[in-house]
Amino acid sequence: MSEHSMIEARPLPDITDVAAPFWEATRRHELVVQYCAACNTAQFPPEVSCTECGAPDLTWRPVSGRARLYSWTVAHPPLLPYFAARAPWPVVAVELEEGPRMVSRLIDVPIDDYAFDLPLEVAFEDIDEEISLVVFKRAGG
> Applying CB under 5 A, which residues contact Zn ion?
36, 38-39, 41, 50, 52-53, 55
Closest by Cα among 132, 136, 122 to 13 = 132
Give the nearest distance from C-beta 52 to Zn ion in angstroms. 4
Residue 42 or 135 having the CB closest to Zn ion: 42
Give the nearest distance from C-beta 39 to Zn ion in angstroms. 3
Residue 26 or 41 having the CB closest to Zn ion: 41
Closest by Cα among 51, 47, 50 to 21 = 47
Cα 63 from Cα 108, distance rounded (Å) = 21
Q: Which residues are within 8 A (CB) of 80 and not within 5 positions of it... i.e. 6 or more apart? A: 11
Residue 44 or 72 having the CB closest to Zn ion: 44
Residue 35 or 72 having the CB closest to Zn ion: 35
Give the nearest distance from C-beta 41 to Zn ion in angstroms. 5
Residue type, 11: P
Cα 73 from Cα 48, distance rounded (Å) = 29
Give the nearest distance from C-beta 34 to Zn ion in angstroms. 10
